[in-house]
Amino acid sequence: MSINQYRKVQSHSAVNEASPHMLISMLFRGALDNIAVARGALERGETALKGEKIGRAIDIIDNLRSSLDMSVGGEVAQNLKDLYDYMESRLLSANVENSIGALEEVASLLGEIGQGWNAMPDEYKKAPSRHSEAG
């Protein structure tokens, strides 16, 4: 088994065993990882890889937005939806304009939201509901 196959199996195992809270945390980490690789690709002039990784980050942010429960999250969920929309727009700009600043901005925003999500009290982390307010 190659190292990539092993990583894929490990990744699927982690997803299958993760709580809903942990799944959202994994999405934040995945988006940040893709943005970091996109930045490196941009710096090296690897246009195809940059575009691929930015696209994956956008897909992950789209998943974060679609997991919001607007009926429960109210204003906080709406603000997060708007912020996710903004982040996607900035990532598209980063791709077209080769903007490291836009990548850094989105990474910073995702990092802050992710920290808040991970700081959630344990009693909420175990709840089986969709993420509505913090992430």
Higher pLDDT pick, 126 / 67: 67
Alpha-carbon gap, residue 36 to 100, rounded angstroms? 10
Average pLDDT in the 5-28 region?
Answer: 68
Least trusted range by pLDDT, from 8-17, 76-85, 99-108: 8-17
Q: Which fold has domain 18-123?
A: Four Helix Bundle (Hemerythrin (Met), subunit A) (1.20.120)
Alpha-carbon gap, residue 118 to 24, rounded angstroms? 9
Query: Where are the alpha helices (H) located in 45-69, listed in sequence order?
Result: 47-66
* Model pLDDT, residue 132: 46
3-state secondary structure of 135: coil
Contact between 42 and 91 under an 8 Å Cβ cutoff? The reply is no
Average pLDDT in the 104-121 region?
Answer: 93
Name the pTM for this structure: 0.80
- pLDDT(66) > 90: yes
